[in-house]
């Protein structure tokens, strides 16, 4: 359910690559823009002196988000917090869903205890666009129910990406098929603003206009490029225990004017 429209003087974003903004347009400093920056831009236009922090780091598991981002985010005392995490865990075989729920729930509870409005997300449904992803669906559905249950409580809001048909379209995804494209980030930002009670500027859930389907040869080339450029390196990092975010600082570590 959307929250009542109110102004926010401060916002902190917590999470992984989804919140960091991977594969959106690049900013002048070389960082990705991302949906959280887009939300901050809209909120800053409403409130003079608006402050924004983004603690998200690509590749982080929910345990790392809990241990590395929760305490700094809570200490900032922001009026608004977005919290997204757990999908990196779900992607790995043998994921302990009870632990993921426990840590995500603790993050949500502790951030809400600061007085912040807390926005959470359901995952998109990968089975509608990615072959071989059916094994993920039970965990994603369970996490969806968990998030929606939390967001029945006062002070929480959910952005339901799972039910939005637009995210079935590969044009909303980068060529790595894991991170959002600029259009995907634009739509998530609109979903967050709607959850915060802002009138929708457009129907962010609506499918994109149809386009001619790719031919078989083009699909095969795209799949081969994806296997070589993205899936192979991702599997390599998993096998060696490395992460794309190792040693990487938060995107915007301090709650500063934006």
pLDDT at position 164, please? 96
**What is the pTM (predicted TM-score) of this model?**
0.88
Report pLDDT digits (tens) over 222-244: 555 655 665 555 566 556 666 67
For 10-257, CATH number?
3.40.50.1110
Chain mean pLDDT for the chain: 90
Determine the average pLDDT of the residues in 94-119: 98
Q: What integer pLDDT is reported at residue 128 of this predicted model?
A: 80
More confident: 14 or 233: 14
Instruction: List, as own/partner pairs, every contact residues 27-36 make where C-beta atoms lie below 8 angstroms and the sequence separation is at least 24, other chains included.
Output: 31/251, 33/182, 33/185, 34/185, 34/251, 35/180, 35/185, 35/186, 35/188, 35/189, 35/192, 36/82, 36/189
Q: Is 196 helix (H, G, I), strand (E, B) or coil?
A: coil
Residue 242 near residue 61, CB atoms below 8 Å: no
Cα Rg of the chain (Å, integer): 18
CA dihedral over 224, 229, 234, 240, signed as positive or negative: positive
pLDDT (tens digit, 9 = 90+) per residue, 51-62? Answer: 999 999 999 999
Q: Where in the chain are the domains? A: 10-257
- Residue among 159, 177, 176 at smallest CA distance from 168: 177
State yes or no: pLDDT of 196 exceeds 80: yes
Residue 100 has pLDDT above 60, yes or no: yes
10 Å CB burial of residue 219 (0-12, 13-18, 19+) is exposed
Over residues 80-107, the mean pLDDT reads 96
**pLDDT tier for residue 213 given thresholds of 50, 70 and 90:** confident
Q: Indicate the range of 159-163, 169-173, 216-220 predicted with least confidence.
A: 216-220
Token pair listed for 206:
């609506």
- Nearest Cα neighbor of 83 from 118, 125, 126 is 118
Residue 256 parent element (H or E): strand 252-257
What percent of the chain clears pLDDT 90, i.e. is strictly above it?
74
What is the rounded end-to-end Cα distance, in angstroms, of the chain? Answer: 28
Q: If DSSP states are collapsed to H, E and C, what string results for 178-193?
A: CCECHHHHHHHHHHHH
Quick check: 217 pLDDT over 80?
no
The DSSP output letter for 230 is I
Q: 131 or 81: whose pLDDT is higher?
A: 81
Tokens of 52: 């924004």
> Do 159 and 83 meet the contact criterion of CB atoms below 8 Å apart?
no
pLDDT band at 172 (very low <50, low <70, confident <90, very high): very high
Give the separation between CA 124 and CA 84, rounded to whole angstroms: 12
Residue 158 near residue 112, CB atoms below 8 Å:
no
């Amino acid at each position: 359910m959307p929250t009542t429209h109110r102004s926010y003087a401060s916002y902190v974003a917590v999470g992984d690559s989804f919140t960091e903004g991977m594969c959106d347009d690049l900013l002048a400093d070389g960082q990705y823009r991302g949906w959280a920056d887009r939300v901050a831009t809209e909120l800053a236009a409403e409130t003079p002196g608006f402050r924004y922090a983004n603690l998200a780091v690509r590749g982080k598991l929910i345990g790392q988000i809990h241990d590395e981002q929760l305490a700094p985010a809570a200490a900032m005392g922001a009026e608004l917090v977005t919290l997204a995490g757990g999908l990196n865990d779900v992607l790995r075989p043998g994921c302990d869903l009870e632990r993921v729920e426990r840590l995500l729930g603790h993050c949500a509870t502790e951030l809400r205890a600061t007085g912040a409005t807390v926005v959470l997300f359901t995952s998109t449904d990968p089975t509608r666009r990615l072959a071989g992803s059916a094994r993920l669906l039970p965990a994603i559905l369970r996490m969806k129910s968990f998030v929606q249950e939390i967001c029945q409580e006062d002070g929480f809001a959910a952005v339901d990406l799972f039910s939005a048909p637009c995210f079935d379209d590969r044009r909303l995804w980068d060529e790595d098929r894991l991170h959002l494209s600029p259009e995907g980030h634009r739509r998530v930002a609109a979903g967050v603003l709607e959850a915060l009670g802002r009138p929708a500027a457009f129907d962010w859930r609506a499918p994109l206009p149809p386009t001619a389907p790719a031919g078989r040869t083009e699909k095969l080339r795209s799949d081969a490029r994806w296997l070589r450029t993205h899936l192979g390196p991702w599997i390599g990092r998993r096998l060696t225990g490395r992460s794309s975010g190792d040693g990487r600082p938060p995107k915007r570590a301090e709650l500063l004017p934006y």
